[in-house]
Amino acid sequence: MAALPVYTWRLAPEGLATRRQLRALGLRPGGQDVVAQVERPRYRRGPLIAYLYRIDRAKPVRPLTLAKRTALAKANAARRTCPQCLTDAGYVIPAVLGMCVPCAYPEEQCAA
């Protein structure tokens, strides 16, 4: 297997894009192989690496079906529902707390 070409941050040639850039264009890699990579230097750690794909070989993003949309809505609602008080918190429950903030810190709610 040949080594991938490596480009410096923001210096990749035209016609190549990362997954996020493809998604912003309404495209997906579509099974094609990675053709190059781009590196962004970071201090204290190794560089950030992003893989590049050819835009001309990318395929359109598959549309979201009704079943997938429903499943996604249920999953997001479950992430917002507090297991303690069973109410929709209006935000994603922090995994560290495992419950909404008022249930996790009831003494601070009484003081306020």
d(CA 61, CA 72): 17
Query: Would you say residue 1 lies in a domain?
Result: no
What local confidence, expressed as pLDDT, does residue 43 receive? Answer: 85
| pLDDT exceeds 60 at position 88 | yes
Residue 56 and residue 31 share a domain:
yes
How many domains does the chain contain in total? 2
pTM, rounded to two decimals: 0.67
Span 25-78, pLDDT tens digits: 999 999 999 999 999 988 888 889 999 999 999 999 999 999 999 999 999 999
d(CA 49, CA 6): 9
Domain coverage including residue 22: 6-60
Residue 71 and residue 34 share a domain:
no
Residue 47 and residue 22 share a domain:
yes
Residue 90 and residue 104 share a domain:
yes
Residue 70 and residue 56 share a domain:
no
Residue 51 and residue 12 share a domain:
yes
Side chain identity at 50, as an amino acid letter? A
